[in-house]
Amino acid sequence: MQESLIVLDVLYDWRLVLFSVVVAIVGSYVALEINTRLTILHSSKNQFLWMGIGAVTMGVSIWSMHFIAMSAFQLYVPLTYNWWLTAFSVLPAIIAAFTAFFVLHRLKLRALTILAAGLFIGFGIVAMHYSGMHAVTFAGVVTHSPALVVTASTVAVVVSFAALLLFSLTKNIRSIPVRALVASVMGLAIASMHYTGMAGTDFCLPTGMSSIIQPEPVSSTNVFGAATLFTAGTIFVAVQFILYSENRWFNRMTFTDAATGLANRRQLEGLSAAALQRFGVACALEINDMKDWSLNYGYAAADRLTKQAAEALEKKLPLQAELYKTEENRFTVFLPSAPKEAMRESIAELAQPIQAELPESNQIMELTFSAGAACAVDKKPLAELLKELDHALRTSLRTKRDIVFYDEDAAEQVREERIIQELRHAITEETLEAYYQVKVDLQTMRSEKVEALARWTHPELGMISPGEFIPAAERAGLIVPLTEYMLHRVCRQLLEWDQSSVPVREAALNLSPVHFQAVGANKRIQDIVSGYGLDPGRIELEITETAMMRNLETAVAQMEDLRAFGFRLALDDFGTGLSSLTYLQQLPVHTLKIDRSFISRLTRSPEDQAIVKLMIDFAATTGLHVVCEGIESREELLALKLMGCQDGQGFLFQRPVPASEITIRYDLDLTS
């Protein structure tokens, strides 16, 4: 006759129950942190490393929760553990957690994929639970309620689906309270599976062994200590890994150029005075025509060409030299002290053209450099050295000389200083002139709009190009006063045209990127227009596309303020910057000005023709006005008319002229 069984009473230490839930929540939170960081990784090697760390952390947390909960579970008989089975039982939990990360970050999230993954993960958690239970040994037998086993398994699968969903929804969320809430939900859900399974588990003794029943519950402190120590160590290692990686990412994002992997300008600016003394000369190298490479082949291709240029320069660096990527297409090199002729030879070698392969076409391109150099051994501050380098490089670009040394460029330095000084007087004494270039309606061939342009004829220096005095004004902090001066001239001219019945209803004016950095600049130009009693809608402010990218959020806020006041806003040189159509919807503009670089190739390049047509159609769809710059031939004009372009501007109609010389109507024969 089979001996009857005694079902043992069960007690729980609720402090340990609570602690087991806390462990599950903390493990879930760390896993969520790792999941968030996985979204920004692109390297497969790095992704698998992070998935492994996340899987171990999550798996060990689930495993530890189970065994801490088993420590909270108390019988009136001793319990022992098979430590080999106890250690083995963590593997299903780790494999299940790794599956979750793999599905989220390496597979396309489809319903069937999530279904299969949820089932696999759920059964992995069930396997961990019951293999852990199998590691428990005592004098009696363990029985399981089939209904509650099924219930616990169902809870595990549901928890797995919920975990996949929560991980997917929160992988781009940085809010700590939100992640803490999600981790709490996950931790409670994981714990619920364990306690549901335990509710259907009975520990029984044959009646003949009742003598081993103790008068007080027996605690399993050994498994509690082991599980706590193991999970604390695992979470500590995971957190340290996150912090270490965060620090590496921060340093990489802050001090490393993304395209080339070289140290960037911010790292260069951290050079100490002592570090500078190791070098004899500094050199700025700029890749020529990189803007054209970007326009013709795209910015991704330009980045790869730049990377090849960086690799070529690194191979040519002398020992103890340092190379930095400081601008979009500019490198700065510090060369160790050596005889002057040797340093010149090193710079000349670095400035030699290099061969680069155009990505995806196997076409070999020749990249050439302009170079500016300055002496670095006379204990000058780094800021002054960089200013000298910039000046020498600009002179190289302007004069088309391959290499310019700052100490050989004294005449250019004196000229710029004089231009800045004289420009202050010209603004104060109102000797700068306002010229106007017409914008022609391509359908009616009439002009009711103009663009105002600053022109400066110096009594001694002669005509000074805007390409020279406007950058000088920006560097010297004079561009905002210059803009305000030109706005006064434009407002007065519009009122004069009104009195003389000249049908010019709108004038455009360029805004420098510096405007958006100047405190109160918007208020000052608004006050100027209000002071003349002029409708601000008659003033269009032109802003370059690349200027927007310097600080998009600040620029958009400033533009919204100008638009709310009533100004019209135009995006100048459209298509040449980094934003293109991607950021355009964020900009509160009325008009797109398509850059002349597209128009000049319009009749020779089907690709440019297609791009211009795309821009015009895009503007029409979004309700924006279009102006095409740089129209110089009848063929270009006819092509743009057929594309539906609204306004045109260029030498075909009229060069910039004084206000008294503008022409309102144009009769151009488009048949020849």
The pLDDT tens digits of the residues spanning 30-46 come to 777 777 767 666 566 67
The DSSP annotation for 472-514 comes to: HHHHHT-HHHHHHHHHHHHHHHHHHHHHTT----EEEEEE-GG
Q: What pLDDT is recorded for position 1? A: 39
pLDDT band at 165; cut points 50, 70, 90: confident
Whether 542 has a pLDDT exceeding 80, the answer reads yes
Instruction: Give 537 or 44, the one with higher predicted confidence.
Output: 537
> Considering the chain, what percentage of its residues have pLDDT values greater than 90?
12
The pLDDT tens digits of the residues spanning 392-451 come to 888 787 777 778 887 655 556 677 788 888 889 988 888 899 999 999 999 888 889 999
Whether 578 has a pLDDT exceeding 50, the answer reads no
pLDDT band at 642; cut points 50, 70, 90: confident
Which range is most confident: 122-131, 289-298, 418-427, 480-489?
Answer: 480-489
**Burial zone of 315 (CB within 10 Å; 0-12 exposed, 13-18 middle, 19+ buried):** exposed
The pLDDT tens digits of the residues spanning 53-111 come to 777 877 777 777 777 777 777 777 777 777 777 778 778 878 877 877 777 677 776 66
List of domains in the chain: 5-253 (no CATH), 263-408 (3.30.70.270), 416-661 (3.20.20.450)
In this prediction the pTM is: 0.46
Question: b or e along 82-112 (b: 16 or more beta carbons within 10 Å of the residue's beta carbon)?
Answer: eeeebeebbebbbbbbbbbbebbbeeeeeee
Q: What pLDDT is recorded for position 579? A: 45
pLDDT-wise least confident of 43-52, 203-212, 239-248: 239-248
Instruction: Give 497 or 152, the one with higher predicted confidence.
Output: 497
Mean pLDDT of 507-528: 87
Stated length of the chain: 672
Instruction: Name the token pair of 541.
Output: 């402010």
Mean pLDDT of 241-263: 69
Q: What pLDDT is recorded for position 245? A: 65
**Burial zone of 354 (CB within 10 Å; 0-12 exposed, 13-18 middle, 19+ buried):** buried
Name the average pLDDT for the chain: 79
Instruction: Give 449 or 6, the one with higher predicted confidence.
Output: 449
Whether 223 has a pLDDT exceeding 70, the answer reads no
8 Å CB contact between 180 and 29: yes
Q: What pLDDT is recorded for position 565? A: 93
Mean pLDDT of 269-289: 82
Whether 526 has a pLDDT exceeding 80, the answer reads yes
Whether 381 has a pLDDT exceeding 60, the answer reads yes
pLDDT band at 122; cut points 50, 70, 90: confident
Compute the CA torsion angle 639, 641, 643, 649 (nearest 10 deg).
90
List all residues 6 or more positions away from 614 whose beta carbon is below 8 Å from its beta carbon.
none
Instruction: Give 332 or 666, the one with higher predicted confidence.
Output: 332
